[in-house]
């Protein structure tokens, strides 16, 4: 294999890379976008690519339009899913699984074969008690079956090593960089902010799936403190999920300056009119909100968890997770300091310019494949 397109010798099939995106990672926007980008880059370099994933993933990510062959993995039984992936991997030069469950699926499918397995960990499973013990057993099984484990943040690499990985490495992983903003009239910003109800007050923006244990409790605690500001900022939350009703009840009961926007496809537009972006998660690797905020030059206040500090460097205000007062104070100070906001906006653009791009990501993966295969 090569990091540049090389035509296959006459009569010889090009290398075949199978990407496995299991049910656990199929719902992860970051994983799906990464696999789509990776598939397109590998195809452009002359590889055959097959993506094995739940059927619902193809309409969302368009793997086939990236040049990959799509094989749905929708069997109701575990044995059926293993059989489907095993069949797809029959001619594979290398198999690359994304996430813990897809790693286990691929490891079972490759049992008895010499096809090398690469596993990328994009996130950390959330489980406690008996569920946590099961996760640890799965992690050990997966990393020991993998020739190489790639982690998108340093703490995930450390976790893989602690579970017994023989080769665990930090992987450059990029979301597609945003294009230039569209040309808009002078009244566009005012119109969007008016629709959100923030003509005369600051707008704070966060985004993510509405689930328990995703940091919304401390975030609403901080919102309560912002009621004392004059004027109190509006916190807009873009996203949907099972915790919506509980969040709505608390917002209404306490009269919090928070608006639930539901699922939105216009996050760049929302960021373009926001004063500060806020990330209150208990753990993140490379959160899309943080990346998009820095690309857009929007000041970011985020919890210092997981891969966030190495992602943002000095280009964001970092606070401890679970400390609503620290979060509220950091945001209030930024709102009162336009110079600091401007400095963070510029620092964010500089930091984002140094992140790996999609070509870097594909080239790195190809080098790993080169080490493991003879083509």
Same domain as 258, residue 210: yes
* Residue 278 backbone dihedrals phi, psi, to 5 degrees: -130, 135
208 and 126 in a single domain? The answer is no
End-to-end CA distance of the chain: 6
CA distance 49 to 326: 47
For residue 27, the model assigns a pLDDT of: 39
Considering the domain architecture, whether residues 223 and 244 belong to the same structural domain is answered as yes
Low-confidence stretches of the chain (pLDDT < 70) are 1-12, 23-29, 374-375
Whether residues 39 and 101 fall in one domain: yes
What is the model's pTM? 0.89
Is 114 a domain residue? Answer: yes
According to the model, what pLDDT value does residue 6 have?
Answer: 47
147 and 288 both lie in a single domain: no
Asked if residue 368 belongs to a domain, the reply is yes
CATH code for the domain of 248:
3.40.50.2000
Q: How high is the pLDDT of residue 254?
A: 98
Number of domains in the chain: 2
Q: Mark whether 270 and 332 lie in a shared domain.
A: yes
DSSP 7: P
- What angle separates helix 129-145 from helix 100-109, to the nearest 10 degrees? 50
Q: Which of 91, 89, 28 minimizes the C-alpha distance to 61?
A: 28
In this structure, is residue 98 part of a structural domain?
yes
Measure the CA–CA gap between 310 and 294, rounded to whole angstroms: 13
* Domain assignment of residue 114, given as a range: 16-174+357-372
Secondary structure (3-state) at 268 = helix
- Is 181 within the bounds of a domain? no
Q: Is 239 left (phi over 0), alpha (psi -120 to 50) or beta?
A: left
Asked if residue 11 is part of any domain, the answer here is no
206 and 348 belong to one structural domain:
yes
Is residue 9 a part of any domain in this protein?
A: no
On whether both 43 and 102 belong to a single domain, the answer is yes
* 294 and 368 in a common domain: no
Q: Is the peptide bond before 330 cis (omega within 30 degrees of 0)?
A: no
């Amino acid at each position: 294999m090569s990091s540049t397109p090389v035509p296959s010798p006459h009569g010889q099939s090009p290398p075949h890379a199978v990407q496995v995106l299991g049910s656990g990672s199929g719902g992860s926007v970051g994983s799906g976008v990464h696999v789509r980008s990776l598939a397109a880059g590998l195809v452009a370099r002359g590889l055959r690519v097959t993506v094995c994933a739940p059927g619902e993933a193809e309409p969302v990510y368009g793997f086939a339009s990236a040049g990959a062959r799509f094989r749905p993995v929708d069997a109701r039984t575990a044995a059926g899913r293993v059989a489907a992936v095993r069949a797809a991997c029959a001619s594979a030069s290398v198999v690359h699984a994304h996430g813990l469950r897809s790693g286990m699926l691929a490891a079972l499918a490759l049992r008895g074969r010499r096809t090398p397995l690469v596993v990328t960990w994009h996130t950390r499973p959330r489980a406690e008690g008996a569920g946590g013990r099961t996760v640890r057993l799965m992690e050990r099984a997966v990393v020991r079956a993998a020739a190489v484990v790639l982690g998108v943040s340093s703490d995930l690499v450390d976790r893989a090593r602690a579970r017994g990985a023989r080769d665990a490495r930090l992987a450059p992983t990029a979301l597609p960089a945003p294009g230039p903003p569209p040309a808009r009239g002078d009244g566009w910003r005012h119109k969007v902010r008016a629709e959100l109800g923030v003509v005369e007050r600051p707008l704070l923006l966060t985004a993510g799936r509405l689930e328990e244990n995703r940091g919304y409790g401390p975030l609403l605690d901080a919102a309560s403190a912002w009621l004392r500001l004059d004027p109190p900022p509006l916190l807009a939350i873009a996203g949907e999920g099972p915790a919506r009703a509980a969040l709505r009840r608390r917002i209404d009961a306490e009269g919090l300056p928070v608006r639930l926007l539901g699922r939105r496809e216009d996050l760049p537009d929302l960021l373009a009119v926001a004063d500060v972006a806020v990330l209150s998660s208990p753990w993140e690797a490379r959160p899309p909100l943080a990346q998009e905020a820095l690309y857009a030059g929007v000041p970011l206040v985020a919890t210092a968890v997981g891969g966030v500090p190495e992602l943002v460097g000095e280009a964001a205000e970092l606070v401890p997770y679970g400390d609503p007062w620290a979060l509220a104070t950091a945001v209030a100070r930024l709102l009162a300091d336009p110079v600091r906001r401007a400095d963070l906006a510029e620092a964010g653009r500089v930091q984002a310019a140094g992140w790996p791009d999609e070509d870097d990501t594909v080239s790195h993966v190809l080098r790993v494949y080169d080490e493991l295969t003879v083509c």
